[in-house]
Amino acid sequence: MEDFLSLELPELEGRIHALGQPRYRARQIFSWIHGRGVFRADQMHNLPGELRKRLAPFLSPLPVELDRTLEAEDGTKKFRFRLRDGAAIESVTIPEEKRTTLCLSTQVGCAQGCVFCRTARMGLQRNLRVDEILGQYYAIRSMSEGQADLTHVVFMGMGEPLANLGPTCRALKILTHPLGCGLSTRRLTVSTIGIPGPLEELYRTVPVSITLSLNGADNETRSRLMPINRKHPIEEVLAALRRLPLAPRRRFTIAYVLIGGENDSLQDARQLVRVLHGLRCKVNLIPFNPFPETELRAPKEADVTAFQDLLRSKGISTHIRGSRGGDVLAACGQLCGDGP
């Protein structure tokens, strides 16, 4: 039996109509679930009592259960959730002065094998369902004072969103629906290694902000760091990005993890300028966040600054993204469900 939490509004309307109820009841139920975070039929007070009884089998508690919370010195929080089959995933909240960003997972583990990512060491255990993706959002929202406290949502946690395309798209559509969470597409970001076909399908479905994890400016370097590049080389991925119908005044984000001695030279920076030529984008430089099982090292601060300076001198908006939550292994590339 499919839980109503996973249904988009037209699907829910069909289910409610099959129960002999008018379709507007579906809009009420959808709003209770996704707008107010109410998952028990007996608490949906504007529904007839008989309907509430009939809905009970289709509604259940969230499929994620908080197992542990760790708070870093900078206020970043890492949440470990247990799923009903015992698997573990992690989500992160990153507070800033005028915004709080929630980082969600889309898979248990990851199959992509990026050498700088701790999640990759897990391998892929399974994809998350729609309700498990959304459950992270609703569970963390309920711990805060209200929905407004979570201003931005990024699909940057464990897993590759495009490798779990269907549930990712459905979750995004529910998060942006005006009767549900009502999040702006400008406040939703999907971070991806770049799989051309699914990338274009996702953007046609929900035109959210896209962050491309590039991390290498030539195919030899990127293939060494990211095995996916052997199947989808840089030229193919960037061509797919250029085909997306980007709205005026919007830009793509290029994420570039700087790893000491691997991809952080000025020659790498010059090559990055060449491959990004003509693409409406900004670059986020992310100094590598070491974790216990890796021999890779963080770049020197001077090399990071020099890399940024060269890109800026060529007219590319470039920012150094400071590491957040590293003392509790909550920083970019450090998530691992059963780890410390």
The residue from 90, 132, 160, 262 that is catalytic is 90
Kind and range of the H or E element at 169? helix 165-176
What is the Cα 190 distance to its own chain's centre? 5
Q: What is the pTM of this model?
A: 0.94
| Among the listed residues 144, 244, 150, 142, the one whose alpha carbon sits nearest the alpha carbon of residue 198 | 244
Q: Is 261 exposed, middle or buried (0-12, 13-18, 19+ CB in 10 A)?
A: exposed
**Pseudo-torsion of CA 83, 116, 75, 63, nearest 10°?**
-10
Beta strand 318-320 with 124-127: parallel, antiparallel or unpaired?
unpaired
| Whole-number Å distance between alpha carbons of 228 and 248 | 30
Contacts of 82 (CB under 8 A, 6+ apart): 64, 65, 67, 88
Q: Does domain 4-58 have CATH number 1.10.150.530?
A: yes
> How do the pLDDT tens digits run along the chain, 340 residues long?
468 999 999 999 999 999 999 999 999 999 999 999 999 999 999 999 999 999 999 998 999 999 999 999 999 999 999 999 999 999 999 998 889 999 999 999 999 999 999 999 999 999 999 999 999 999 999 987 544 488 999 999 999 999 999 999 999 999 999 998 999 999 999 999 999 999 999 999 999 999 999 999 999 999 999 999 999 999 999 999 999 999 998 999 999 999 999 999 999 999 999 999 999 999 999 999 888 888 999 999 999 999 999 999 999 999 999 878 888 887 788 888 765 5
Structure tokens at 13: 């309307």
Report domain extents, the chain. 4-58, 64-328
Decide if 262 is catalytic. Answer: no
Known catalytic residue: 90?
A: yes
Annotated catalytic residue, options 117, 169, 281, 332: 332
d(CA 100, CA 92): 10
Looking at domain 64-328, its CATH class is alpha beta
Count CA within 13 A, CB hemisphere, residue 120.
17
